[in-house]
Amino acid sequence: MYTGRTIFSQLMDMLPWRRFQTCVNRYSGNYKVKAFTCSDQYRVMAFAQLTYRESLRDIEACLRAMNTRLYHMGIRSTVSRNTLAHANETRDWRIYADFTQILIDHARRLYAREPFGVELDQTVYALDSTTIDLCLSVFPWAHFRKRKGAIKLHTLLDLHGNIPVLAIITHGKVHDVNIIDSLLLEAGALYIMDRAYTDFNRLHRIHTANAFFITRAKKNLQFKRVYSHAIDKSTGLKCDQTIVLKGYYTKQKYSDKLRRIRFYDSEKEKHLIFLTNNFNLPAATITDLYRCRWQIELFFKWIKQHLRIKSFYGTSENAVKSQIWIAVSVYLLVAIMRKELKIDLSLYTILQILSVSLFEKGDIYQILTESHDSFVKYEDPNQLKLFD
């Protein structure tokens, strides 16, 4: 790369801008727009994510201080908080959602062979949600409790590389289990979910799509044992059974056989009961796979710590969704850059280096690799290590 360009412009050049323009045209994002186009909005919001800006005024002050460099960063218009607020309010959030999906497809191809703790050829997904609290008086559309607002970020995470394959943003009242209806089920794939997703109607839909699921059984589950499989009790396994459901309604919803595995977690001193429709994998592998579901919890914790998705630059539903989708796309962009440039650093470290060097001129690979030796001395050992 030409080293006379800023780090930010080199990073933005890694994005497929032609395909971004296709998304803009699909929703008429630049209709009657003379200045501050959707690409300008995206660059400004990406800059805010990478540098941890706190507010619209903060973004405006920072970029105006570097006014002579904005053109070389790809930002062709003057940045003001009113213009940015209006863009976030009116530009369709689906532009950035569709563009993020393009980056997801790219990232999944790059991380397809990334290990995640269990050696398995098939695709493994973890499904869960995280709640982002909001003030109900400021965000009246974000219904959750009587005096409390919130939104939910429902995510389907590909455990090969921890890439979010699907993200759905809803208000806080939407129950997690409803998201299964929105999944485009992939034959042969394995979906790992917690007890909140135990709905036998929906689980049977996964089964009939020739996909597999692993979930936790509820305490009041009524079943009949058909067969018991041999187990190695030294591994913590207590039983591995083939069962059928006994409840009148549950039997109608799921009439096929299920596999019930009981496991004792010695670390937490807790008995866990798993349900799955996969009869081929060893019982120990099933328990290991469910343990890998914790990766999605770490993913939520990581993005809340390092991306701006807990405080927002706008109060409308469109502004909030636009900011979240741009934040996810920035995460994917950094993950793609890390893989394509073969940078042996965690995403946390890369983000910290980028946050203080976006206006610098020089080769992006050189800055990231040369900064590591001095940066690592000051890295907090208590920080999340999800992407090392």
**Of residues 156, 157, 165, the one with CA closest to residue 105:** 165
Q: Per DSSP, which regions of the chain are E strands?
A: 124-134, 143-145, 148-158, 163-171, 190-192, 212-216, 223-228, 237-245, 258-265, 270-276
pLDDT attached to residue 375: 47
CA 112 to chain centroid? 16
User: Tell me, what's the pLDDT at 380?
Assistant: 55
User: Rounded CA gap, 272 and 235, in Å?
Assistant: 13
- The count of other CB atoms within 10 Å of the CB of residue 122 is 12
Ranges under pLDDT 50 in the chain: 1, 375-378
Q: Which residues contact 104 (CB under 8 A, 6 or more apart)?
A: 163, 164, 165, 332
Res 240: pLDDT: 94
Which residues are bridge partners to 156 per DSSP?
127, 166
Helical axes 317-340 vs 347-355, angle rounded to 10°? 110
pLDDT digits (tens, 9 = 90+) for 77-103: 888 999 999 999 999 999 999 999 999
| Domain ranges for the chain | 7-96+314-378, 194-292
HEC string for 57-72 = HHHHHHHHHCHHHCHH
What is residue 3's predicted lDDT score, i.e. its pLDDT?
A: 54
**Residues for the chain: how many in total?**
388
**80, 60 in Cβ contact below 8 A?**
yes
